[in-house]
Chain A
């Protein structure tokens, strides 16, 4: 996979507000047709990262990066007009809350065709045909009728399908899905994730899946970037990561999850906890996880740990796993 030119290259992305740095030195790549998961809890910086990739950072935020390239083109310093050519057409995004992202006073068809007409200059009639095609593509039954519906007439799952139709309307090469199924019921979640994966294959898109749900990551991602307090703590192929995570935070997350712990009940003893909360990372000059880490050393608190390659394609930002790989993987597999 590394021989193919990456679709997206992010190197040392840092996002600053006046008094904080919610994303710090984040690097990752996405290849064509690949699903990369950004996983982390609230406050890890995963959604801000997505907004930076779309040129949609909130006012007051400044992004800097050593490299930020899409399909070989530099995204740094694009002006508003240039971003419009990228957004939607090259990189598109699906948000968590489909109700608030859709305009309640416009029909579904109108909202889908808005992007197509802007980017491709289609006539009203051709655009409508295209909208029906797109609704069909995202498997909405009876698309000829649904195209004239307003969002409130649709269920949460259908609204999210409409959002996906809007996102893929201009055949983007990269789709960013930010918690696309968090607001949905489990059976509908499975439908939507299955749809996203099928579209990724059919349209040969790269897919960035932003989620806090480890089960979703394990089932659908090729590669996983685990974020904590604005930085990458570990990156690996999904099957490798779930087989034996290295970073103490990743290990803690997997052990804390009743989902991954499959079949355990409270009779088998308590779930493994990660003590404290992510708020303790604020103002920490060293590793953000240090205040909650069972393996913390004095050096961890002084400077952010270097990212090293533990195995080919497996990156981890923790000196403890480097020194004790045997012990680390024993703990990890023992807990799974």
Chain B
């Protein structure tokens, strides 16, 4: 049984300009101990997907099974005990930490909410987690503004892990960090996964980070997963024209002063193109692509892709 199994998930919002289909029919699984990468550009729905899984926003349709239990339709009161097992790490560690609370207070709050231990026991657990994420022991009595960006992200990670979750959803956890700090945080997340047996859903727009971190990768475009595959398989044999374009757009010293970028802009999710959503920007689109939405086809090793022309692409 998968730790997380999502099936035909939809999250729609009503806006002044009409229906915004942020997540529009997404299915995937996360196995125990697996890190699944979710890549896509802004507006593709990847952050909304993460929030829907945690029940921070309500789904419109579809099922979310966590450890065999359907949680998509649970009332919020029943969701709370599950939150202990599903946690989130955010992009902006500063914006997500209360500046008036000491690190000790920030880390104790989840233990109090979930009724964990007595005062002494909590203090011990906070000290343990601070050590685990590589913060100095003295951090406990200090405040968020006293820390650098990298250390704040360690605080965010400590808060997510203090209740011993099974699944951690990381939403752009290193995007705001300088390169030399980014490596420190990525290595820490890898160590924690190994030592604590965590599973990750790792949301990022940065393909090179996802390539390093993810066992399996989902590529999202305008609310849909257009391609899913094991990491090495995806990088060596990308099938969807959008995945190919994303990989080709990674700046690369080997391609000196040469770019063949995808033309056009990302359409608004309030105005999703008919047929294949990618067809207005696709270099190989045909009349069929404008008329008919392609369904995901599964190739070998669980490599699935939603494109009418995938046979032609493979050759």
Contacts and interface: CB of A to CB of B under 8 A. Distances in A.
Interface in B138-193: 148, 150-151, 178-184, 186-187, 190-191
Nearest to A271: B183
Interface residues of A, number: 49
B148 A190 contact: no
A335 interface: no
Contacts of B186: 258, 266, 271
A258 B209 contact: yes
B309 interface: no
Contacts of A260: 253
A70 to B, nearest CB: 25
A256 B212 contact: no
A288 B160 CA distance: 34
Interface in A181-228: 185-191, 193-194, 197, 212-220
A188 B179 contact: no
B180 A41 contact: yes
- Residue from the set A187, A219, A252 with the largest chain B CB neighbour count within 10 Å: A187
Contacts, number: 137
B190 A190 contact: no
A273 B256 contact: no
A197 B257 contact: yes
B246 interface: yes
A218 B181 CA distance: 20
A41 B150 CA distance: 13
A252 B183 CA distance: 10
A219 B253 contact: yes
A65 interface: no
Given A155-B265, A273-B180, A273-B183, A259 B148 contact: no
Interface stretch (A81-89, A166-174, A274-282): A274-282
B256 A239 contact: yes
Contacts of A265: 211-213, 231-232
B interface residue count range (under 10 / 10 to 19 / 20 to 34 / 35 or more): 35 or more
Interface string A40-69: 011000000000000000000000000000
B250 A279 contact: no
B185 to A, nearest CB: 10
B266 A185 contact: yes
Nearest to B190: A266
B301 interface: no
Contacts of B80: none
Contacts of A239: 253, 256
Nearest to A222: B257
B86 interface: no
Given A189-B249, A190-B249, A256 B265 contact: no
Interface string A234-278: 000011001000000000110011111111111000111111011
Interface string B216-246: 0000000000000001100100000000011
B261 A194 contact: yes
B298 interface: no
A311 B252 CA distance: 25
Nearest to B194: A266
Contacts of B206: 186
Contacts of A256: 179-180, 182-183
Contacts of A257: 179, 183, 208
B180 A253 contact: yes
Contact of B208 (A188, A212, A258, A274): A258
Nearest to A35: B257
A258 B212 contact: yes
A179 B186 CA distance: 24
A157 interface: yes
Contacts of B252: 215, 218-219
A158 interface: yes
Interface in B14-60: 41-42
A270 B187 contact: yes
A219 B179 contact: no
Nearest to A272: B183
A80 to B, nearest CB: 35
Nearest to A257: B179
B207 interface: yes
A278 B206 CA distance: 23
Nearest to A194: B259
Contact of A264 (B179, B212, B250, B262): B212
A186 B250 contact: yes
A227 B143 CA distance: 30
Contacts of B255: 219
A280 to B, nearest CB: 10
B85 interface: no
The 7 closest A-B pairs by CB, nearest first: A218-B253, A215-B251, A190-B261, A41-B178, A259-B208, A185-B41, A256-B183
Given A265-B212, A265-B213, 19 more contacts: A41-B179, A185-B42, A185-B266, A186-B207, A186-B250, A190-B248, A191-B259, A191-B262, A194-B259, A219-B253, A219-B257, A238-B253, A242-B253, A258-B186, A263-B211, A264-B212, A265-B232, A266-B186, A266-B213
9 contacts: A186-B205, A194-B261, A215-B252, A262-B208, A266-B186, A271-B186, A273-B183, A274-B184, A279-B148
Interface of A: 41-42, 155, 157-158, 185-191, 193-194, 197, 212-220, 238-239, 242, 252-253, 256-266, 270-275, 277-279
